[in-house]
Structures are given as structure tokens and as C-alpha cells.
Amino acid sequence: MTDNDSVISIPWAFRRKAPGAARDAAPRRRVVIAGATSGLGLALAHRFIDAGWTVGATGRNATALTTLQKEAPEHVTTMQLDVNAPDAPERLAELAAALGGMDLYLHCAGILLDNPELRPDTEAAMAMTNAVGMARMLAAAFGYFRDSRRRGRIVAISSVAGCRGLGDLPAYSASKAFDQAYIEALRQEADRQRLPLRVVDIRPGWTRTPLLDSGREYLFEMPAERVADLIFRASLHARRTATIGLRWRVLTALERLVPAALWQRLHLPLWRDKQPGR
């Protein structure tokens, strides 16, 4: 397995299980998931529940959190949390304590807003949640593992969009580039302090979740269930970086080779409008 290999080779095949099936046989490890109320975060919460983990689920949508907790009350503890709130690190510590500890922190909180007019407030909102919010929560998770000296993992979902600046998505691609550099810096700091901690960057491409415009077809778009399966595996087994999907691994590798002067003149067709009737 290479560090950039998102199709993780592991000795078992992941399958969704019926609720309650063989949960008690699995070790009761504990994961906190930020952004667990919709999209990939919610899908990943279900996968960890099915694998027998105790899940601490956070997000802004209180109704979605209540629904998730009712589905598996013996496995789920919820806490309403906004990664942009100043008290978010303290609330993360409270949730970890309520779980009896944290073995894995999984950051799935992020937003994508359509902004072709480059409205400043919209650009700033994406940068605030995707970059500042992630830095706030990853720093808090790092502090937890550093201070407790627990063996664990910090896993953050960035994006292939962070590879280069994208004219259609300036704030989004820039915030994801920030995320990738921040994750790499935390990995270096964990090594410097000799912490028993893995810091993993997971980079999916376009994934069919509620974030995407239902009237568009996106480049190399993948179904959410397939992406969630791959992210679940990478969360447990990737060492540093996992780019989700072979086509995205190839494309991002090629993008890095393009000189800046040529990249400036390129325009990748990231999406197209769906044809009527499709």
C-alpha cells in the first residue's frame, strides 16, 4: 500500500450489516465525528456504528443528531457543535470525556457554496468553515492526544480541489489547500514530539451528496455510498494521505506537473448542466 493509495488493501471486505448484527463482538473503540448530520459525515457515522464503535456525533442540526442517536442509542452520544464557535474545542473535550475517551477524531465538517459572482461574504464563509473551523478542531484534537498520550488517529477530509487553485471555486480550493498544509504540519509536529498519533488527510473528489447541485453532472462524480466505504477503510488504515478514486489520483498527479503559466490558461470543465430528461 502506498501513502496515496485510496483503495486500501486490508484482510477483510467491508460490508454493511443489519442493525445490531455482530456489534457486540467488535472492540468498543471510540470515534468523534464532526459534521455527522448529513452527507459523508452521516454515512461514516453509520459505518462506524455497524463496525461496533462507540460514536460521538457532532453537528449543527439538532434534529438530525436526535434521529441518529435514536437509531443506535447504545452506540451513539451526540452533541450540537458548530466548528466556527469559539467554545467548540471545549465542547469537543466534553464529548470525549462523556465517551470515556477518544481513539479517533474524524473531521467531516465543510461547506461548498456556489458563488460565480465572487460575493465576498460567501467566499469568507467558505474559508471560515473549511479552513479556520478545521484548524480550530484539529488543534483541539491534537491537544487531546498530546496531553493524554493516548494512541490514536486524527483523520480529516480535505479534497482533491486543494491540489491547485480553481477559478470556478477560489475560496473552496484555497481552503482545501490550507487544510492539506495544516494536516501535514500537524503530522510533522506529532513526529517531533514522538506522539503515538497518526494524522491522515483524505482527499475525495466530487461525491453525490446534498452539497452538490442536483441539476449538474460533475467531473468523475462518485456515489456517496462508495466514497463512504473507501473513506471508512482509509480512516482506519491509511498512514498519511488517501486520494479517493483512481481517476482522481491520476488527474491530481498530472495537475501538479502543469507549469503555473500554463495552469493560468487552463479551464477544467468541473461540471455541466444535466440534459433534460436525465
Q: What does the pLDDT look like over 83-137, one tens digit per residue?
A: 999 999 999 999 999 999 999 999 999 999 999 999 999 999 999 999 999 999 9
- Express each pLDDT in 196-244 by its tens digit: 999 999 999 999 988 888 888 889 999 999 999 999 999 999 999 999 9
Provide, rounded to the nearest whole percent, the portion of the chain with pLDDT above 90.
Answer: 81
As assigned by CATH, the class of the 30-273 domain is alpha beta
Q: Taking all residues of the chain, what is their mean pLDDT, rounded to a whole number?
A: 89
Parse the chain into domains and list their residue ranges: 30-273
Q: How confident is the model at residue 274 (pLDDT cuts 50, 70, 90)?
A: confident
190 CA to centre of own chain: 20
Distances (CA, A) of 122 to 129, 164, 176, 267: 11, 20, 16, 22
> How many Å separate Cα 164 from the centre of its chain?
19
The C-alpha atoms of residue 104 and residue 118 are separated, in whole angstroms, by 36
